[in-house]
Amino acid sequence: MDLSLLSRKSDVEWWIEPHGRMRVPGIVFGTESLVKEMDEKVYEQVTNVATLRGIVRASYAMPDAHWGYGFSIGGVAAFDADQGGVISAGGVGFDISCGVRLLSTGLTRELVEPLKKRLADELARSVPAGVGRGGRLHLDGPEMDAMLAGGARWAVEQGYGMAADLERIEEHGRMSGAKPGEVSEHAKTRQRDQMGTLGSGNHYLEVQHVAKVFDPAAASAFALREGDVVVSIHCGSRGLGHQIGTEFLKRMVLAAPGYGIDVPDRELACAPIDSPEGEAYLGAMRAATNCALANRQIITHLVRRAFDSVVPRSQLTLLYDVSHNTCKVESHQMDGRTQRLFVHRKGATRAFGPGHPDLPPALSAIGQPVLIGGTMGTASYVLVGAGGSEARSFGSSCHGAGRSMSRHQALRQWNGRQVIEELASRGILIRSPSARGVAEEAPGAYKDVTAVVDAADRAGLSRKVARLEPLVCIKG
**What residues are annotated to the active site?**
399
Nearest to 295 by CA among 101, 54, 430: 101
Q: Would you say 127 and 433 are in contact if contact means Cβ atoms under 8 Å apart?
A: no
DSSP state of 403: B
Q: Which is nearer to other proteins, 218 or 445 (CB)?
A: 445
Nearer to other proteins, 435 or 451 (CB): 435
Distance (Å, rounded) from C-alpha 11 to C-alpha 275?
41
Q: Which residues bind other proteins (CB under 8 A)?
A: 39, 41, 66-69, 73, 94-95, 130-134, 186, 189-190, 192, 199-202, 239, 242-243, 245-246, 249-250, 253-254, 266-267, 402-403, 406-409, 433-437, 440, 476
Q: How far is the CB of 329 from other proteins (least distance, A)?
A: 25
- Give the H/E segment covering residue 328: strand 325-334
Q: CA distances (Å), 355 to each of 352, 362, 363, 438, in order?
A: 8, 11, 8, 41
CA distance linking residue 44 with residue 52, whole number of Å: 13
Strands 228-235 and 99-108: antiparallel
**Contact between 241 and 213 (Cβ < 8 Å):** no
* Distance of closest approach, residue 401 Cβ to other proteins, in angstroms: 11
- Return d(Cα 461, Cα 391) in angstroms, integer: 10
Task: Please give the torsion angle defined by the CA atoms of residues 127, 132, 134 and 138, in that order, rounded to the nearest 10 degrees.
Answer: 160
- Residue (116 or 403) nearer to other proteins, CB: 403
Strands 7-10 and 13-16: antiparallel
Q: Smallest distance, Å, CB 378 to other proteins?
A: 17
Closer to other proteins at the Cβ: 87 or 439? 439
Closer by beta carbon to other proteins, 392 or else 403: 403
Q: Tell me how far the alpha carbon of residue 377 is from its chain's centroid.
A: 19
CB 282 to other proteins: min, Å: 20
- Nearest residue (CB) to other proteins, 219 versus 249: 249
Whole-number minimum distance, CB 33 to other proteins, in Å?
18
Contact 404, 449 (CB under 8 A): no
Quote the least distance from Cβ 67 to other proteins, whole Å: 4
Q: Which of 116, 474, 136 is nearest to 298 (CA)?
A: 136
C-beta of 66 vs 168, nearer to other proteins = 66
CB of 398 to other proteins, least distance (A): 15
Can you tell me the distance from the alpha carbon of 395 to that of 465, in angstroms, rounded to the nearest whole number? 17
CA–CA dist 392, 202 (Å, integer): 29
Q: Rounded to 10 degrees, what is the CA torsion of 79, 80, 86, 87?
A: 60
How many other CB atoms are found less than 10 A from the CB of residue 7?
A: 11
